[in-house]
Amino acid sequence: MIELVHLQRQFQSIKDEIIPQIEAVIDSGHYILGPNVRLLEAEAAIYLGVKHAVGVANGTDALVLTLDACGIGPGDEVITTPFTFFASAEAISRVGAVPVFVDIDEQTYNLDVERLEEAITERTKAIIPVHLFGQPADMKEIMDIAKRHGLLVIEDACQAFGAEYHGMRAGSIGHAACFSFFPTKNLGTVGDGGLITTNDDQLAERIRQLRHHGSKKKYYHERIGYNSRLDELHAAILRVCLRKLDGWNAERRRLAARYNERLSGHSHLHLPQEAKGRKHIYHLYCLESAKRDEMLRVLQQAGVQSAVYYPLPLHLQEAYRHLGSQWGDYPVAEQKSQRLFAVPLSPFLKEEEQDVVIRVLREAEGGPEH
């Protein structure tokens, strides 16, 4: 079986480096909000080019705490994409606000900035662009629109640690940004974790309070908060992984380019496009086919794992039935949900394995066009 991702290989490759770090945490007696969290926050802030980075329990909490710290709640609307992992919208609902969806761009699968303004109402407070599959959204246009309408921009950068937009890191452009350290993300740990970045001192301070029961001074609570902290153990592991990240992302890009080169000219496959000024870091390598079901079947028969991201756009989810959306409301997202599929890609995919995937995909649609 050729797996979609290779987490065992990844952690095996750095086991010798992380085991002593885990031992050091155990020996230190300091397990919550200790030196590893502080150091990871400092190192991540430097890497991303931001003033503040705050570790939290997971990427979903990163979004919830950021929205809460921005004062967004009941009566407010937040614009996001219907073509993302559920958590992007779930966090908006969790704080009592309403997600308002805007359809996606055909090529990048990110928010379609041409349609953004028509979704803005007097209740709109923020926009959450998602850097889907590791490719940054049109941040300049989004920031310009937000500025014109007095809105906050919270980047959902959960799939994009290390991605770039015109030389700036994803997660350094909006008013705040949220990252996930879920194992499969480009920068992931062996459990859950998350991070919030911002250049706003007060916002960072509020988020630090919120993650720790609304408290700055032990047993004195200024606001109702959460228990949402990044563990010392995960921070220690992530510090090792952060040092590897550029190499891992470069390998993802190399393998993605290899797919693009060897699969191009096959008329039934539409390959991922890197938009101008973007550095896509291929959290997932997703391609499109009008005959997706057949592709998935052929891949499975050949022992190649594949997956569909995402089979049902958020406006059609049972949980959002109350919003009253129906099939046809976001046609691009709907079409992509029927065409896109991911094939194996990670820094630990072997070229021999990739060659098998390439051969199966080429044969599935009957060889080169010319």
Of the residues 50, 53, 59, 278, which one makes contact with ligand PLP according to CB under 6 A: 59
Which residue's CB atom is positioned nearest to ligand PLP?
59
Q: Angle CA(244)–CA(190)–CA(83) in degrees, nearest 5? A: 85
For ligand PLP, the closer of residues 127 and 269 by Cβ is 127
Applying CB under 6 A, does 81 fall inside the site for ligand PLP?
no
Q: 125, 185, 279, 336: which one is catalytic?
A: 185
Stretch that binds ligand PLP, among 57-65, 112-120, 222-230, 244-252 (CB under 6 A): 57-65
185 is catalytic: yes
According to the binding rule CB under 6 A, does residue 85 interact with ligand PLP? Answer: yes
Q: Where are the beta strands (DSSP E) in 257-339?
A: 278-279, 285-288
The contact pattern for ligand PLP, residues 11-50, with x = CB under 6 A and - = no contact, is: ----------------------------------------
- The residue (of 127 and 358) whose beta carbon lies closer to ligand PLP is 127
Measured between alpha carbons, how far is 63 from 177 in angstroms, rounded to an integer? 8
In terms of C-beta density within 10 A (0-12 exposed, 13-18 middle, 19 or more buried), how is residue 368 classed? exposed
- Interaction between residue 309 and ligand PLP (CB under 6 A): no
Q: How many CA atoms lie within 13 A of 193 on its CB side?
A: 28
SS3 of residue 328 by DSSP:
coil
> Would you count residue 180 as binding ligand PLP (CB under 6 A)?
yes
- Check if the beta carbon of residue 48 is closer than 8 Å to that of residue 136: no
C-alpha distances (whole Å) from 305 to each of 301, 342, 355 are 10, 9, 14
Of 54, 87, 299, 316, the one binding ligand PLP (CB under 6 A) is 87
Of the pair 157, 295, the CB lying nearest ligand PLP is at 157
Q: Least separation, in Å, of the C-beta of 28 and ligand PLP?
A: 26
Q: Give the other-Cβ count within 10 Å of 265's Cβ.
A: 12
Question: In the range 138-177, which residues lie near ligand PLP by CB under 6 A?
Answer: 156, 158-159
3-state secondary structure 130-189: ECHHHCCCCHHHHHHHHHHHCCEEEEECCCCCCCEECCEECCCCCCEEEEECCCCCCCCC
Residue number with CB closer to ligand PLP (83 or 259): 83
How many residues does the structure list for the chain? 370
Residues assigned a catalytic role: 185
Residues that bind ligand PLP (CB under 6 A): 58-60, 84-85, 87-88, 130, 156, 158-159, 180, 182, 192, 194
